[in-house]
A and B are shown apart, each in its own frame.
Chain A
Amino acid sequence: MNKIENNKAWFLVLPVFVLVAFSAIIPLMTVVNYSVQDVFDTNTRYFVGTEWFKAILNDAALQSALMKQFMFSFTTLSIEIPLGIGIALLMPKRGMAASLCLVLIALPLLIPLNVVGTIWQIFTRSDIGLMGWSLREMGVAYNISRNPVDAWATIILMDVWHWTPLIALLCYSGLRSIPEAYYQAARIDRASRWAIFRYIQLPKLTNVLIIGILLRFMDSFMIYAEPFVLTGGGPGSSTTFLSQALTTMAIGQFDVGPAAAFSIIYFLIILAVSWVFYTTIMNMQKEK
């Protein structure tokens, strides 16, 4: 669409700018401020320059938290995206069945994050949970508080359960926007099921998929409440992701300086990855 040049449009954006600036810029300045100081109490503080940044970047525990974070985001996304597309293709197209499917599939999305953790904590306990109990009855040695592999598998299963619906719903609505005539043309050409997917459905899905991937990447990279409730970050620190490491440092130990430096590095990583996605979206929209 051709946009008109008009700087008065700033007045329409102003309320958003003021509100977001209030809740973003002021706190961010505090964080930057702390990241270069050593704070003893409200009156005693020293300028320490980049010392905290060096300390954080060399901290082995945080490096491993970062690695785990990338592994977690990568694993969940590579399961959720294909599965979500698959579910969207299977869903009925209209009628009562379609509505019912939509409501049931959307259900996990609206459960508070720590309740999701609680649901899975209950579900996987071997004494009172259906899944934990069934596995034990089948003779599988399954214990999320002792075995890191079990803890990881459970957290990934939980995230797939929780967030695949978002991808499925986005793709479903993308698929609904394809005119019936396209499919008729494909039938006349005797296109295979795969060809229909590859050349008709997938191109229509790219836009919604980029939105989905962007949202999922951002949210999986900040995951906090679910693993915190389910495993508490353990066993050991095998499922301690970045947000939990940061909150423990900032609120638990009150190490304000290092926590602030950590925050800035954390934010910059998300910003960098999301910038790549964002420019991709913008370029694709320009091509149209």
Chain B
Amino acid sequence: MKSRIALIVYILFILLPIYWLLNMSFKTNQEILGAITFWPQNFTFENYQKILTDPSWYKGYINSMIYVSLNMVISLTVALPAAYAFSRYKFVGDKHLFFWLLSNKMAPPAVFVLPFFQLYSSVGLFDTHIAVALAHCLFNIPLAVWILEGFMSSVPKEIDETAYIDGYSFPRFFAKIFIPLIGSGIGVTAFFLFMFSWIELLLARTLTATEAQPIQVIMTRTVGASGIDWGVLAAAGVLTIIPGIFVIYFVRNHIAKGFALGRT
């Protein structure tokens, strides 16, 4: 019983700041600045309406979605075969290569801000979705290889051997047999890829100007000459949480097994 209470207290601690944001997003600015109210007195959708009817606002969400999806597709496509190689074969320089890959996950994005800006400007990719997606590959590909390698190593090698004896070619075996076997691993990897790309700010902000600007950056616009538009800021914040809720909901059954990353 005591443990139940402790858990509920912790979950309340998690929810309290989010509740406050949600509460604020349904209030008018007068009410927000007027007094502390635990429930909106004049319930209003105005803040959401402002965001969802103005293209310069909602395009931010679309931009974010586009580069996050692009990044997930690119990362998974190249990481799957690479993780297979690391989990099954020894080859020249494999250990060094693996650590080098991981070291990119360790690199602070702040280090790469200036060179990335120059690199993508010089190849004409500045302010495009693909630039942000590629930049996020820097930390997402190593992460995907690392997680997938763990899952693949827990699949017995006999399965590969049997399939080859049965006459499967490598691509057919990989697509038809191996990928379904590590389904929950791919689910968890996708979760992490989404997470780290969706929440990143520094690179996404530096590599975009108007066309591909993500919602996190557009949010900063609420600070205007007449002060901060708190209601709209709160509503925009709430809307950035929603895609995350969907993603968690889809992987919830894999979390218990999959978060150990195949390494228990």
Give the B-binding residues of A (Cβ under 8 A): 1-10, 12-13, 15-17, 19-20, 22-24, 26-28, 30-31, 86-87, 89-91, 98-99, 101-116, 118-120, 122-123, 127-131, 133, 161, 165, 169-170, 172-174, 176-177, 204, 207-208, 211, 218, 221-222, 224-225, 242-244, 246-247, 250-251, 256, 259-260, 263, 266-267, 270-271, 274-275, 278
Contact = CB atoms under 8 A, between A and B. Distances in A.
B108 A6 contact: no
B86 A13 contact: yes
A225 B104 CA distance: 20
A119 B230 contact: no
B153 interface: yes
Contact of A128 (B32, B109, B243): B32
A9 B88 contact: yes
A218 to B, nearest CB: 5
Interface of chain A: mostly helix, strand, loop or mixed: helix
B142 interface: yes
Nearest to B111: A263
Interface in B58-98: 74, 77-79, 81-82, 84-92, 94, 97
A118 B223 CA distance: 12
12 contacts: A9-B85, A16-B145, A19-B141, A20-B137, A106-B248, A107-B18, A111-B244, A114-B216, A118-B237, A165-B14, A204-B264, A266-B108
A173 B251 CA distance: 13
Contacts of B87: 1
Given A225-B201, A271-B103, A1 B157 contact: yes
Interface residues of B, number: 98
B154 to A, nearest CB: 9
A113 to B, nearest CB: 5
Given A103-B245, A111-B199, A221-B108, A27 B115 contact: yes
B221 interface: no
Interface in B105-126: 105-116, 118-119
A7 B91 contact: yes
A263 B110 contact: yes
A9 B18 CA distance: 47
A111 B104 contact: no
Interface stretch (B5-13, B46-54, B175-183): B5-13
A90 B110 CA distance: 37
Contacts of B18: 107-108, 119
A115 B78 CA distance: 31
B88 A3 contact: yes
Contacts of A101: 7, 11
A14 B43 CA distance: 56
A130 B81 contact: no
B165 interface: no
Given A106-B255, A122-B230, A207-B263, 9 more contacts: A2-B157, A16-B79, A23-B116, A87-B10, A108-B14, A161-B13, A221-B108, A224-B202, A263-B111
Contacts of B89: 3-6, 9
B247 A123 contact: no
B167 interface: no
B78 A19 contact: yes
Contacts of A169: 255, 259
B190 interface: no
B224 interface: no
B149 to A, nearest CB: 11
A278 B95 CA distance: 11
A103 to B, nearest CB: 5
A250 B206 CA distance: 12
A24 B91 CA distance: 22
Given A16-B82, A122-B20, A274 B102 contact: yes
